[in-house]
């Protein structure tokens, strides 16, 4: 595990974007997975500007989204799909060769199957970029998730349901999510875990230094052979 403590959010985002680009150069036909949430916005912007400037070629690469709120479409502001399209996919001058974004407005079990099929056909993941939830979730792999899991439909944890209000207020109230599984994340060639802000310091400390246990899903990354933990000084505070 390589821990990179960055001076601020911009530095974190630039560093992570560079790591993705390095992996893209090594495997131009690879499968790249980015999350939704507040954390990766700067990475999306840095990645788009580098790709559009010709620093990397995504023309034979594939893209897959990490997770989605059940009941929300990619046109709904606050959904992971909306975030993926408006901040990344729609901004790229030239598209990825193949794109799979989970559709939270469709039948969730069909979406689970489609996500598994896409990863099976184009994977394993080359890079999995992840944020971390305040409860230690990765994607929507909540407490107690099987470490071997493939994509699945999940009942959202109370912490996740509390935090989700920041994305779309009371307009939506999803109780379920769809997520790539921990088994798929662990098969990624490279994992990049991002975290910024003092509110993430306690969970980062626990996930990286505490016991590896399904009670704290992100702790599984201690067992991954090629993880970059790219965090700002505040998230590294503990």
Write out the catalytic residue numbers.
67, 135, 137, 142
Site for ligand PGA contains 238 (CB under 6 A): no
Smallest gap from residue 128 Cβ to ligand PGA (A): 12
Strand-strand pairing, 190-195 and 127-130: parallel
146's tokens: 């099987």
Residues 6+ apart with CB under 8 A from 120: none
Q: Which residue is nearest to ligand PGA (CB)?
A: 37
Lay out the site mask for ligand PGA across 118-137 (x = CB under 6 A, - = otherwise): -------------xxx---x
20's tokens: 């993705």
DSSP state, 198? G
Q: Which of 13, 15, 33, 39 contacts ligand PGA by CB under 6 A? A: 39
Site for ligand PGA contains 42 (CB under 6 A): no
Site for ligand PGA contains 13 (CB under 6 A): no
What region, left, alpha or beta, does residue 197 occupy, with left being phi > 0 and alpha being psi -120 to 50 degrees? Answer: left
Smallest gap from residue 132 Cβ to ligand PGA (A): 6
Smallest gap from residue 203 Cβ to ligand PGA (A): 10
Of the candidates 236, 238, 111, 126, which has an alpha carbon nearest to the alpha carbon of residue 189? 126
Cβ closest to ligand PGA, residue 78 vs residue 108? 78
Q: Which of 38, 113, 155, 173 contacts ligand PGA by CB under 6 A? A: 38
Residues in 135-154 that interact with ligand PGA by CB under 6 A = 137
Strand-strand pairing, 227-232 and 31-34: unpaired
Residues 6+ apart with CB under 8 A from 166: 38
Q: Which of 20, 30, 31, 37 contacts ligand PGA by CB under 6 A? A: 37
> What is the full DSSP assignment across 19-63?
HHHHHHHH-TT-EEEE--SSTTHHHHHHHHHHHHTTSS--TT-EE
Site for ligand PGA contains 81 (CB under 6 A): no
Cβ closest to ligand PGA, residue 104 vs residue 131? 131
Contact residues for ligand PGA, defined by CB under 6 A: 37-39, 131-133, 137
């Amino acid at each position: 595990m390589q821990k990179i403590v960055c001076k601020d959010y911009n530095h974190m985002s630039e560093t992570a974007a560079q790591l993705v680009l390095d992996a893209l150069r090594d495997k131009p036909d690879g499968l790249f997975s980015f999350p939704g949430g507040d954390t990766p916005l700067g990475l999306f912007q840095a990645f788009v500007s580098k790709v559009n400037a010709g620093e990397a070629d995504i023309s034979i690469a594939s893209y897959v989204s990490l997770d989605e709120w059940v009941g929300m479409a990619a046109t709904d502001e606050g959904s992971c799909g909306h975030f993926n399209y408006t901040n990344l996919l729609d901004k790229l001058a030239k598209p990825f060769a193949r794109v799979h974004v989970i559709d939270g407005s469709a039948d969730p079990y069909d979406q689970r199957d489609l996500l598994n099929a896409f990863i099976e056909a184009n994977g394993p993941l080359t890079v999995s970029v992840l944020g971390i939830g305040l409860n230690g979730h990765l994607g929507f792999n909540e407490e107690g998730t099987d470490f071997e899991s493939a994509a699945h439909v999940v009942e959202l944890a109370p912490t996740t349901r509390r935090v989700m209000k920041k994305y779309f207020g009371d307009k939506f109230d999803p109780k379920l999510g769809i997520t790539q599984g921990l088994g798929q994340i662990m098969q990624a060639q490279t994992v990049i875990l991002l975290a910024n802000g003092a509110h993430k310091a306690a969970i980062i400390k626990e996930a990286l230094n505490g016991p590896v246990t399904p009670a704290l899903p992100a702790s599984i990354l201690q067992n991954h052979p090629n993880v970059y933990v790219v965090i700002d000084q505040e998230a590294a505070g503990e």
